[in-house]
Amino acid sequence: MPLYEFICQDCDQDFELICKYHDLDAVRCSHCDSAVVERQVSMGSFQLKGSGWAHDRYGLSAATADSKAPEKSSSDVTS
């Protein structure tokens, strides 16, 4: 389940809550128990660890192979 950030409109406290998306309407402040809360926009977290594509330079050889396509010489052109 995702982690959401909220700010209470009554006590101005911010708090985090792990909940399902369809439960967002029933969120109450964890400090004053008010139902007047606003969801905040926060930065997402994404990490690549281990021997993944970034470490192994995945796709690098395919990209360089495509850029070295054979060129047509002027003698190959027919009129």
Query: For residue 60, what pLDDT is reported?
Result: 65
- Rounded CA-CA distance 1/59 in Å is 32
- Delineate the domains of the chain, giving CATH numbers in brackets: 1-42 (2.20.28)
Name which of 51, 76, 67, 1 is nearest 16 in CA terms: 1
- What's the whole-number mean pLDDT along residues 35-62? 72
* Phi then psi dihedrals of residue 23, to 5 deg: -95, 5
* C-alpha distance from residue 69 to each of 21, 64, 72 (Å): 49, 9, 10
**Entry pTM:** 0.52
The answer to whether residue 79 scores a pLDDT higher than 60 is no
